[in-house]
Structure 1
C-alpha cells in the first residue's frame, strides 16, 4: 500500500448483504428482485406430453416445407437440427403449448440461409417467405395461424393412425 498523506478516520467496513425487503409507508414489504423477475415466456414450461408431441412434430418436419413439396417448390430443410417449434400468439402472448407448429429455421426466422452465397430475397423466390422477415407474405402463401395449426394437427393424426 502506498504511503499517503490522506488517512482514513474509520476503517473500511465489510459489505453486509441487503435485507430481503424494506418497509414502505404503507407497511407492506417490498418484493425482492428475484420475486419481481418475470418468467422468460408467457407460458409455463412444457410437460412431458408436450415434449413428446414436439419430438413427433420434429420427426415429420417443417410444415411450410411439406406444403412446398406438395406444390412442387424446393424445400429449405436439409437436416433435422434446423427444425424449431413455433408458438402461435394471440395479442402478442403465447396461446399455450397446444398451439404450436414445427418450422425449419429458414421458414421460422429466415436467418440461417440454406445457400450462403445468395441473399434472402433470392432464396425467398426459391423456398418461399420467412415468417419473421415477411409475415404477411408468409401467411398469404401458407395460411394464417389457424390454418397452420389445423394442418399440423392433421399431419400428426395421420402419422399416429398410420
Structure 2
C-alpha cells in the first residue's frame, strides 16, 4: 500500500510560518525554575498555544508554589506525555544565543560525505561544537581543537556547561 504524503507535506509547508512563530514564543519565554512569576508567565504562554492548537483548555494546577498545566483527553488514563516549561538559564540567558550557529545537514546517517567540508568549515569558525546525535562508535570524535561529545550523558553535560558559559552563569 502506497501512502500519498504530498497533502500532508503541503499542509505542513503552509503551517511552517505559524509553527516558527509558536516556537519563537516559547524560546523567548524565559522561565528559570526558581522564579515562580517567570514560570507562571511561561505557563500562560504554553496554555494559550495549547488552547489554540489542541482546542482544549488545560487545568492550571499549583504544586510546590509553581504553576503546572494538565490536559486530559478522552476517557481513561492510557498514556502520559510529560514535558516541562522551566529553562536551565537565568532571566536574560536567552541573549546568550547571540553568536550561535545551527547547522542542519541531510546526510548524517550515511557519514556526512556531502556536508563534511561544510561541517568542518563551520566547526573551525566556532569556539565549540555540540553534535546532537552520537557517532557510530558511541565515542567522542575530535576535529582539530573541537571535541564532539557523542554519548547522551556527555552531550547533556557539555550542553549544560555551554549554556552556563554563554549565559555568564559561570566564571
TM-score, with length taken from structure 2:
0.29
Q: Which structure has the bigger radius of gyration?
A: 1
TM-score by length of 1: 0.30
